[in-house]
Amino acid sequence: MAKVTIPSYLQAEQFQISPDYVRISMAAAIELRLKPGRLLRDCRCGCINLLQNYPEGCYANCTYCGLARERPGVPEDNTFIRVAWPLYPTDLVAEKIAEKEAKDGVGRVCIAQVQDHRAYDDLIDMTRRIRRVAKEVPISALVSATTLNEERLYKIKEAGADIIGVGLDAASEEVFYNTRGKGARSPHDWDHHWQIIRAARRLFGPMKVNCHIIVGLGETDRELVDLFYQLKSEQIAGYLFSFNPEPGTAMQEAPRAPIQRWRRIQLVKYLIENYDLPPDAIEFDAPGNIARLEAPDIGVDAAIDTGLPFMTNGCPDRDGVMACNRPYGSYRPGEEYRDYPFVPNTDDLVVIRKQMKLDEVWAKIS
């Protein structure tokens, strides 16, 4: 990406940067009526997803991310996860959140950090601005672990966040190294990420910390399944994302996970988390793909019929109901749903079952 030559201390005047400005997901901008429009199938957006804004995007260099430092093009063209994230004054967004909160409630607000030397101070500032006007709204901080230590986590909590999300993204150390770490000329470190995840888990409590996990970065099914069990044992949430190549990134030509793989992973994760599916119920082939799932037909069918395994994974609202449904987070408008931002209906379930081709691997037991 082209370098911004203006020094940091002058950038606030030249660019609309955080903490005074913030990007907001298009779905959230529509929900707050900052933008006109409606989401497909009258879907609502349960979480106001915000993202820090700096002229150079992000100083990390993740191979799949539209904000990556070495991505070609000019900073103004950054799109971040495909659908444009419009920019607004932070105080205006806070005011709109407060208005909606007073009228019919806001499920959750999420402030996402990027990798920048200002990101931590600005996260605190932005969290306080929202907390000041919306005293009860649940706030998640989606952090860049590389900018943090234990003391900073404590301050984020003190500023008003009740959940920490960590963009772990990669399901294994090797994939992490190649896509986000030194192998990608990026500053992130697997061990440091886990230190921050576990420190946050101690500080924020069970299921108040989550890891974002992207399916399709080169990991095996076995690595994903191992991670699901690990997270469950530590009472840390795992939230799935489906890799979708971003034009202009190092992984722009990489294929997406085949849809049947994605659906099976969604289902197996749900069965592990909600039905205590034991590890020996899942067998893998030599390359590490799920080859056999030994599970009772009644339980699996019932789980599929709820539609819940195929919905977006995200932070809950104050009543414990999933709020962060991220419409268009893992697919472009007009593409097939990857994660459904609402409960799939009967027609959706027919499509899902066809996509999943579960009979190829499912050994039903009674």
Q: Which residues of this protein are in contact with ligand SF4, per CB under 6 A?
A: 47, 49, 108, 110, 140, 142, 165, 210, 212, 239, 314-315, 324
| Cα–Cα distance, 266 to 192 (Å, whole number) | 27
For ligand SF4, the closer of residues 199 and 304 by Cβ is: 199
Say if CB 197 and CB 167 are below 8 A apart.
no
CB of 322 to ligand SF4, least distance (A): 9
| Cα–Cα distance, 257 to 244 (Å, whole number) | 9
Q: Using DSSP bridges, classify how beta strands 87-89 and 139-143 pair: parallel, antiparallel or unpaired.
A: unpaired
Residue type (1 letter), 114: V
For ligand SF4, the closer of residues 55 and 160 by Cβ is: 160
For ligand SF4, the closer of residues 57 and 327 by Cβ is: 327
DSSP symbol at 311: B
CA angle 28/30/33 to nearest 5° reads 110
CB of 188 to ligand SF4, least distance (A): 17
CB of 300 to ligand SF4, least distance (A): 26
Phi, psi of 46 (to 5 degrees): -80, -10
For ligand SF4, the closer of residues 123 and 358 by Cβ is: 123
Q: Which residue is nearest to ligand SF4 (CB)?
A: 165
| Cα–Cα distance, 28 to 283 (Å, whole number) | 40
For ligand SF4, the closer of residues 1 and 141 by Cβ is: 141
For ligand SF4, the closer of residues 240 and 281 by Cβ is: 240
Say if CB 139 and CB 161 are below 8 A apart.
yes
CB of 281 to ligand SF4, least distance (A): 27
Residue type (1 letter), 13: E
For the four alpha carbons of 334, 260, 341 and 134, in that order, the dihedral sign comes to negative
CB of 224 to ligand SF4, least distance (A): 17
CB of 72 to ligand SF4, least distance (A): 27
For ligand SF4, the closer of residues 1 and 24 by Cβ is: 24
Instruction: Provide the residue count of the chain.
Output: 366
CB of 113 to ligand SF4, least distance (A): 11
Say if CB 332 and CB 82 are below 8 A apart.
yes
| Cα–Cα distance, 317 to 114 (Å, whole number) | 24
CB of 210 to ligand SF4, least distance (A): 6
For ligand SF4, the closer of residues 94 and 304 by Cβ is: 94
For ligand SF4, the closer of residues 128 and 357 by Cβ is: 128
| Cα–Cα distance, 205 to 355 (Å, whole number) | 37
Task: Give how far Cα 154 sits from Cα of 114, 141, 188, 263, Å.
Answer: 19, 12, 21, 37
Say if CB 358 and CB 321 are below 8 A apart.
no
CB of 62 to ligand SF4, least distance (A): 16
Say if CB 209 and CB 142 are below 8 A apart.
no
| Cα–Cα distance, 22 to 33 (Å, whole number) | 16
